[in-house]
Amino acid sequence: MGRSLGWRFRYALRRAIRSFVATAVSSRWVTPSVLAALIVLVTVGAIEWAPQFMPPSSLTVALIATGLLARWRAAVFLCMFAVAGLIVDVAVLGIHEVRIGAMVAVVVTGAFALVLAYTREQVGAPGLRGEHMLLELRGRLSAQGSFPHLPAGWECESTVSPAGTGVFGGDFVVALVRGHSLEMVLIDVSGKGIDAGTRALLLSGAFGGLLGAVPPGEFLRKANDYLIRQAWDEGFATAVHVTVDLESGDYVVETAGHPPVIHYDAGAGVWRVSKGSGVALGLLPTASYTPERGTLRRGDALLLYTDGLVEEPGRDLSVGIDRLMGAAEKLVSHGFRGGSDLLLERVAQTANDDRALVFLWRT
């Protein structure tokens, strides 16, 4: 009878251990289990190895990881668990060994971890999923802005640089080749940096689907209708839409509140500024846009840009455009390849606004 009870006890204990391990390694509980083990390690280490080697303030490391990795309910439990560990250290070591500053640091870090975990839970991206999502969105935005393959005799470059040191901005470009025509649009969403980046991510997908789905002459009007329907508080955007016939070189430019396109005429050796104008997208429900036509011959180039390259506080926009053309003129003798990056560095290297530039030329 005793052996039977002993066997049953060992069997139940093994099942409990296996169940605990299986639960701990699951996707939902593995992180809280590891963090709880870390809290226990720090708590016991502060007692066994003296505070100078592993002080109770080391609990802040586990709490920071809790805020970044754990879900809201698990974060609440882990923060309470860390406070309990701190109380155990104080009870065993004494208040003279565990300093007041260390206790305050643990409590403040725990509160910060709870706020961080709760915020991530509210946006539906607990743990590091939010960062992965943003990285994927940034990658999609960059991929959508890459230019399609152009036929021989044509080259194009684009450079987009967000304000400051951020990775998200309100400037983006979308382009496609349909038949023997290149269609591209450069957009500057109101605002700058990450504040405009969220709207730019939405509009890049919408405009990418719109480009090629409607006739070129209807693009800006349809884009304006889309922004009007969004009813954003700061829902306007400037845009320049260009369609180029890759066989003849004929092009059509439509502008919506955007800085004018610059055309380099290789035959005359001069840079000309387009005269197209139009109301920015999202301001008037019945806006209209007047097209401007031209032809790109061998050696000619088109330069599209956002106001971040040419706008300066207290100065007329034409001053910045002249400076941009002066920098572009220096590229003529060496060729335009690599020119988009060079112009960004020379004209607006330290600008506090989002910047984007598109260079299209015939070789």
Q: Report the pLDDT averaged over residues 109-132.
A: 74
Q: Quick: pLDDT tens for 222-251.
A: 988 888 888 777 778 888 999 999 999 999
CA 162 – CA 148 distance, rounded (Å): 22
257 in the Ramachandran plot: left (φ > 0), alpha (ψ -120 to 50) or beta? left
Q: Quick: pLDDT tens for 45-97.
A: 877 776 667 788 888 888 888 888 888 888 888 888 888 888 888 888 776 67
The DSSP bridge partners found for residue 104 are: none
Other CB atoms within 10 A of residue 222 CB: 15
In a 13 Å sphere around the CA of 276, the CA atoms on its Cβ side amount to 27
Q: Quick: pLDDT tens for 309-351.
A: 887 777 777 888 888 888 888 888 888 888 888 888 887 756 6
Give the pair of three-digit tokens for residue 342: 């060079």
Task: Provide the pLDDT for residue 13.
Answer: 60
127 in the Ramachandran plot: left (φ > 0), alpha (ψ -120 to 50) or beta? left
Q: What percent of the chain has pLDDT over 70?
A: 79
The DSSP bridge partners found for residue 156 are: 360
Secondary structure of 59-114 in HEC code, one letter for each residue: HHHHHHHHHHHCCHHHHHHHHHHHHHHHHHHHHHHCCCCCCHHHHHHHHHHHHHHH
Which domains does the chain possess? 2-127 (no CATH), 143-362 (3.60.40.10)
Task: Provide the pLDDT for residue 6.
Answer: 56
pLDDT averaged over every residue in the chain: 80
Task: Provide the pLDDT for residue 255.
Answer: 92
Other CB atoms within 10 A of residue 217 CB: 13
Query: Do the Cβ atoms of 204 and 189 come closer than 8 Å?
Result: no
Instruction: Please name the helix (run of DSSP H) or strand (run of DSSP E) that holds residue 134, with its range, or none.
Output: helix 129-144
Q: Quick: pLDDT tens for 122-173.
A: 766 655 565 556 666 666 666 665 777 888 899 998 888 777 666 667 788 8
Between 355 and 221, where is the model more confident? 221
